[in-house]
Structure 1
Amino acid sequence: MSDEFKKHPIPPQDPEKGEVDVAHQAIVTPDLNETAISNDQNKNAPSKEVTVAIPAVKPPPKPTHKVSRWIRWRLWFNMYRRFFVLSFGLNMIGLVLAASGHWPYAVTYTGAIVVANFNVAILMRNEVFGRFLYWIINACFAKWPPLWFRLGCTSVLQVIDHIAHFCFSEGLMCFAKHLGGIHSGCALSGVAWLLFKVVWNFRHMKVSHDAVLVMGVFTNIAVMVSALSAFPWVRNNHHNVFERHHRFVGWIGLIFTWVFVILGNTYEPSTRTWNLNGLDLIRSQDFWFTVGMTVFVALPWFFVREVPVDIELPSNKVAIIRFKRGMQQGLLARISRSSIMEYHAFGIVSEGPHAKYHYLIAGVQGDFTRSLVENPPKTLWTRELKFAGVSNTSTLYKRGIRVCTGTGIGAALSTCLQSPYWYLIWIGSNQEKTFGPTISGLIKKHIEPERLMLWDSKARGGRPDTMKIVKEAYEYWNAEVVFLTSNYIGNTEIMQGCTEAGIPCFGTLWDF
């Protein structure tokens, strides 16, 4: 740890204005010779005052640092891609065995394998299932298991919401959750198995009914369009195209799947007759897997409500959306101006589950967020059951660092508001003026100076050496983990730096 950080591990702040004074002022910091970093630390422990002078000069350019290929490979081949390779690879092995005649079961029950893959894919994206997994992990494994086990839990859960869109930029970021690898792997596998089944039906069209053949083609087209629309390039560059096709064509694909399953299980190829008593249908694996798909698709929509909102516009760059009732930390909310179209996800800022309000911070980046500033609505549609983000696993750790830039504060702030064991590093430009009194007031009220670093890049003449700050804060705070919400460049830089330094870090994932 540098001598400078020992003297002032946090930027000096004016206690009245909450602003950075880059010229000269007193800094209150904990006495590092005391046991201030123990788990049972009293956050009101005695502190000592040190007066320093900080010149208002532009920091020198950061030296370029190239990390090893091994570090870059470890970050690229994350848990998301490992799950994808595992789920897709196993399915492709099975498909090859079936096509080569070495797995007769798969040929006989191809339909069941198709809908089973789709069933798992949809389950991995189900918000109710995700919240249940987070609740189980947080309730059973908070703080007591070895650190490597808790980090593994976070890494696995991080995959669940990999496609959970976090409105931080126009190209929506995928907030790190890795079970999305299973979602993607099983979904593509289901498409491949369905194509195999349709081809098999056409190869044996003499004993197949025309209706079964036609519905097989329609179902294949629908699921292919839904899958292709979710490819990373489409998601990140044409979000509305992705959402409309992935959702609505996916629903059409579900309807076609029902028709295909019913026709396939009521037609008897051996006698070329229809068996309409329904017994064969309800005894089939396809039927029950399709029931599961339907339940998992429909369940989150039962929680959609139109609710009143108040919108604060502290600047033309940000809208602060206020909702009634408090929330636990680490949750995200989907909002829309309509009941079924164009939902956008934002991190929730709340003082706690029993607070009167919770807030969303919407940075003006695209058409939707711009409309919140130019034409503030009185009501918005939202899902009352919120989905969990990686910050929700902060309860697993004894102490941690939360790093964010700009509007990433929306996903980070609740963790530090609700726990005295988390240190906040927020890098932005003129934060109090840009984000307004509500957000600044929450920070002043709940986060003590000794666990807060606000870096105003406008007042300080540029961005800091973020990795240096993170390393020194990690040592000073005796942290176990770092959670990061930043843009692509910042995320890459810090993730690489933390991995190289041996600091456990979870950040934003991009899969393009």
Structure 2
Amino acid sequence: MSSTVRTVDDAEKGTLEHVSSMATLDTMTSTASIKDVAHKELKRLPSDTSTLQARSPDSVSKSKGAEISKPDPPKPSPRPKVSKWLKFQLWFNTYRKFYTLTVILNVIGLILAATGVWQYPRHYTSAFILGNLQTALLMRNELFGRFLYLFVNTLFAKWTPLSFRLACTSILQHLGGIHSGCATSGFMWLIFRVVINFMNHKNTHDAVLAMGVVTNIAIAVSILSAFPWVRNTHHNVFERHHRFIGWLGLICTWVFIVLGDIYDLDTHTWNPNGLHLVEQQDFWFAVMMTFLILWPWLTIRSVKVDVEIPSPKVAVLRFERGMQQGLLARISRSSIMEYHAFGIISEGVDAKYHYLICGVQGDFTKGLIQNPPTRIWTRQLKFAGVSNTSTLYKRGIRVCTGTGLGAALSTCLQSPNWYLIWIGSDQEKTFGPTIAGLIHDNLEGRVTLWDSKQRGGRPDTMKLIKEVYTSWNAEIVFITSNWIGNKEMMEGCKEAGIPAFGTLWDF
């Protein structure tokens, strides 16, 4: 397959590898008038440059659009060199700050406990183990996440200082740093507890020692399987080990706690006193951990789905009922295996349908096209993404490439104060009439569609973002793209002083 074909395919999937800026705003053929916030003057913005012409799904399928000759690709313009300090600022984001702070605080506690300066952790180590693990689970719990987003969006939208709202978005987006930091710290405290047990093995029952080792192994496997390299390149391996070994770790934790609490170190006898057990703080930590793990699974349902296949590259899934913007759905062919997350597209909570755009990137998404399901498993409790905080801002820009539109479109559909920039390849043919109709029926005058196939490459994205940011009087830019595209745009926005949040790859 030629490199040209690979580039087009990657753009359609939303995983387009780096293509140097091959066109600029000057190559656009038209502009769209957009009113400013006060509606007192008109400002010229880059307009829709795609071939999407229709106002409804039916008319889109019939419309062929205006013929636009494909220009010769210009010579790639060199990328400006980005300073190491700017790169470090983007690398050491709030996620890593949370992770570093969490681990450092726990390491200090471990050192104080190990040296005998702080005696409390030596006697109640389980509280530190389970407290950390419970917090780790809480940070990834859909219900808790939705509550945090609702709390922030309700109390602080638009009226608070921009710097405060940006901090709120950053914290909510990077809660995973606390999740990873607490999971790592809980594992370290567990090792500390097992070491103490073995040092005091004469007074500790063999069953307690054995369960401590088994629990350590289970949690270690669960943590290692969540490393980005495993998660991003071997999704099924990550899911099976992180989930099922994690569940095994929870069971082992329960056994370890119960055995440790009912074994009397003084008399070396078992004391299965239920009242004594429920009086221990580690018992209630374990109860809360179990609730946090089980609750999302109690919301799974098999639901009806209609699959539209506009091209071999994309499947558009349609579900009943509308959704608020900024949510993501997990779907699977099985009730407990191989769940995949996709951004939800909906015109609002009162809409009849919501949609998922699934680009072909693996066996699961390929199966949606080769063998379209009529029913599919999903968690009814959806989880919130960073776009959900768009409510905080007066005006903003949503930039996406390829299938990244799935995570971006709802924000623009449900708020007239958000502008969409979508870079893709042959959008109408690839994504079909349903998606095209949603865009044209709702985003007139506040959308720029760039067809990289017709234009011979991607636009000068930073020039486009800067001009729209100024003309649209935006406060924030949200970016959904592949790793390289996200990196380039985030660096460009940081250098230009434009507040921006991009796709997050946990380290």
Deviation at 1:46, TM superposition (A): 11
- Contiguous gaps of at least 5 residues in structure 2: 1-25, 50-67
1:127-276 matched pairs, under 5 angstroms? 127-158=142-173, 178-276=174-272
Q: What is the letter of the counterpart of residue 201 of structure 1?
A: N
Deviation at 1:54, TM superposition (A): 9.8
Tell me if the contact between 2:70 and 2:456 (Cα under 8 Å) persists in the aligned partners: no
Deviation at 1:210, TM superposition (A): 1.0
Q: What residue number does 1:302 align with?
A: 298
Deviation at 1:59, TM superposition (A): 3.5
- Distance (whole Å) between structure 2 residues aligned to residue 405 and residue 237 of structure 1: 21
Q: What residue number does 2:126 align with?
A: 111
1:18-417 matched pairs, under 5 angstroms? 27-30=31-34, 36-38=35-37, 40-41=38-39, 56-158=71-173, 178-417=174-413
Q: Aligned to 1:322, what secondary structure does the other structure show?
A: strand
Equivalent residue for 2:501, pick from 486, 498, 506: 506
Equivalent residue for 1:484, pick from 461, 469, 479: 479
**Matched residues, number:** 463
- Distance (whole Å) between structure 2 residues aligned to residue 418 and residue 465 of structure 1: 28
Equivalent residue for 2:463, pick from 459, 468, 476: 468
Q: Aligned to 1:459, what secondary structure does the other structure show?
A: helix
Deviation at 1:302, TM superposition (A): 1.1
Deviations 1:455-499 (A, max 9, x none): 001111111111110011101101000000000110000000000
Q: What is the letter of the counterpart of residue 64 of structure 1?
A: R
Deviation at 1:108, TM superposition (A): 0.3
RMSD of the alignment, in Å?
2.1
Tell me if the contact between 1:430 and 1:457 (Cα under 8 Å) persists in the aligned partners: yes
Deviations 1:278-318 (A, max 9, x none): 22211111100000100000110111000010000000000
- Distance (whole Å) between structure 2 residues aligned to residue 400 and residue 309 of structure 1: 32
Tell me if the contact between 2:343 and 2:356 (Cα under 8 Å) persists in the aligned partners: yes
Deviations 1:41-68 (A, max 9, x none): 499x8999x9x99983424312221111
Distance 1:46 1:239, change over 3 A: closer
Q: Aligned to 2:397, what secondary structure does the other structure show?
A: strand
Deviations 1:408-455 (A, max 9, x none): 00000000111110010000011011000000000000001x211000
Q: Aligned to 1:463, what secondary structure does the other structure show?
A: coil
Q: What is the letter of the counterpart of residue 116 of structure 1?
A: G
- Distance (whole Å) between structure 1 residues aligned to residue 200 and residue 335 of structure 2: 44
Q: Aligned to 1:380, what secondary structure does the other structure show?
A: strand
Tell me if the contact between 2:138 and 2:144 (Cα under 8 Å) persists in the aligned partners: yes
Q: Aligned to 1:458, what secondary structure does the other structure show?
A: helix
- Distance (whole Å) between structure 2 residues aligned to residue 314 and residue 463 of structure 1: 23
- Distance (whole Å) between structure 2 residues aligned to residue 46 and residue 511 of structure 1: 39
Deviation at 1:24, TM superposition (A): 9.6
Q: What is the letter of the counterpart of residue 495 of structure 2?
A: E
Deviations 1:79-117 (A, max 9, x none): 000000011110011011111111110100001110111
Q: What is the letter of the counterpart of residue 479 of structure 1?
A: A
- Distance (whole Å) between structure 1 residues aligned to residue 136 and residue 30 of structure 2: 55
Identity of counterpart residues, as a percentage? Answer: 66
Deviation at 1:369, TM superposition (A): 0.4
Equivalent residue for 2:449, pick from 432, 441, 454: 454
Q: What is the letter of the counterpart of residue 89 of structure 2?
A: R
Deviation at 1:392, TM superposition (A): 0.4
- Distance (whole Å) between structure 2 residues aligned to residue 27 and residue 235 of structure 1: 42
Q: What residue number does 1:11 align with?
A: none
- Distance (whole Å) between structure 1 residues aligned to residue 88 and residue 43 of structure 2: 45
Distance 1:92 1:380, change over 3 A: same
| Structure with more contact order per residue of length (Cα contacts < 8 Å, sep ≥ 6) | 2
Tell me if the contact between 1:23 and 1:56 (Cα under 8 Å) persists in the aligned partners: no
- Distance (whole Å) between structure 1 residues aligned to residue 309 and residue 392 of structure 2: 35
Q: Which runs of 4+ in 1 moved over 3 A?
A: 22-28, 40-43, 45-48, 52-57
Q: Aligned to 2:308, what secondary structure does the other structure show?
A: strand
With the length of structure 1 as denominator, give the TM-score of the two structures: 0.87
Distance 1:109 1:47, change over 3 A: closer
Distance 1:275 1:257, change over 3 A: same
Deviations 1:102-146 (A, max 9, x none): 111010000111011101000011011000000000010110000
Distance 1:98 1:141, change over 3 A: same
Distance 1:73 1:26, change over 3 A: closer
- Distance (whole Å) between structure 2 residues aligned to residue 73 and residue 277 of structure 1: 55
Distance 1:104 1:431, change over 3 A: same
Distance 1:47 1:260, change over 3 A: closer
Deviation at 1:275, TM superposition (A): 1.4
Tell me if the contact between 2:477 and 2:500 (Cα under 8 Å) persists in the aligned partners: yes
Q: What residue number does 1:497 align with?
A: 492
Tell me if the contact between 1:23 and 1:54 (Cα under 8 Å) persists in the aligned partners: no
Distance 1:42 1:326, change over 3 A: farther
Tell me if the contact between 1:24 and 1:54 (Cα under 8 Å) persists in the aligned partners: no
Distance 1:270 1:233, change over 3 A: same
- Contiguous gaps of at least 5 residues in structure 1: 1-21, 31-35, 159-177
Tell me if the contact between 1:67 and 1:496 (Cα under 8 Å) persists in the aligned partners: yes
Q: What residue number does 1:7 align with?
A: none
